[in-house]
Amino acid sequence: MNALIRVVLLVLNPIILISAFWSADLTNVKLIYLPIFGIITIFLGAGLALLFSKWQKLPRDQIGSMFVSGAFLNLGSFGLLFCVLFIGEQAVAYAAMFRLLEEFTYYTIIYPIAKSYGTIEENSSGSRVVRIIKDPFIMITFCSIIIGAALNLSPIDRFEWLGASNSTLVALASILLLIPIGFSMRIASVKKYWNLSIWLIPIKFLAVPLVITGGAYLLGLGNLYDGILLQVLLIMSAMPPAVASLVPPRLYNLDMELANSNWIVATSSLIVVVPILFVLVNWMN
């Protein structure tokens, strides 16, 4: 399973990102809002989940698990895939810009806060910033974006075959990333915690995308690139927790069963959420 993930992150994703940034229109200064909204999306989901946990007076290990589930987003497989399916290959670069500071935010802010609710100290040496710099997956992503942007500024046109294959590569990468998910499911945890996990649905799929999309609209992003930026923000801000949301609970001895239940319940909700997103994206055209 790790081999599949490595193939996607080290081979397919760089090709997808270079191709997308090579042809994207990156001239508008308002594109800087995309990574900012990416960070706000993470904080908003985490903050609302934290408020709910405090309201319910949950124990600290469960507060930590709810916080992490609210923060993490499945942008790499689901988010990117739905952007391509609903909008087209031209959305890839803007989706990548939305998640430009995603990993940085997780490592430097979300992980330390999650740790404060746990009982086990993290066994790692060096600062989190150094860990990010040394992470080959993160650095290859950044390098791919830089290479694609450099080619965008060059007089070299993107190869036609590369543009034609990008949507297929996104679908293939998403499928390969989803295969390991089935091996991480613990369905029994849902029976125990569904009454808490179900509250993530209005947080992740209603409150967060409403605030993000509404804020972007007020800033005039709906008038750019035929509304593609607003559509990308809607899709990316309405994604369930990523499988990576199960890592901090395991590291810091939070409630692992609750985190697993949150992930399963929210991900299963896509059966209803995805058709709604499809209708909204088409309505925004």
Distance from the first to the final alpha carbon of the chain: 39
Q: What is the pTM (predicted TM-score) of this model? A: 0.83
**In 68-80, which positions are buried (b, 16+ CB within 10 angstroms) versus exposed (e)?**
bbbbbbbbbbbbb
> Closest Cα partner for 80 from 67, 66, 93?
93
Mean pLDDT of 86-104: 89
| pLDDT tens for each residue of 39-61 | 999 999 999 999 999 999 999 99
- Furthest CA-CA distance within the chain: 59
**What is the number of domains present in the chain?**
1
Mean pLDDT of 225-250: 92
Interatomic CA distance for residues 37 and 268, integer angstroms: 25
| pLDDT tens for each residue of 140-185 | 888 888 998 899 889 998 888 887 788 788 878 877 776 765 555 6
| pLDDT tens for each residue of 110-121 | 988 998 898 755
Can you give the residue range of the structural domain that contains 277? 2-283
**CATH number of the domain that residue 243 is part of:** 1.20.1530
Residues whose CB falls within 8 Å of the CB of residue 92, separated by 6 or more in sequence, listed in order:
16, 17, 19, 20, 24, 80, 83, 84, 166, 170
3-state secondary structure at position 193? helix
Mean pLDDT of 61-87: 93
> Closest Cα partner for 100 from 8, 182, 13, 38?
38
Q: Where is pLDDT greater, at 138 or 82?
A: 82
DSSP string, 51-112: HHHHHTT--HHHHHHHHHHHH---IIIIIHHHHHHHT-GGGHHHHHHHTTTHHHHIIIIIHH
Interatomic CA distance for residues 137 and 254, integer angstroms: 26
Interatomic CA distance for residues 55 and 224, integer angstroms: 40
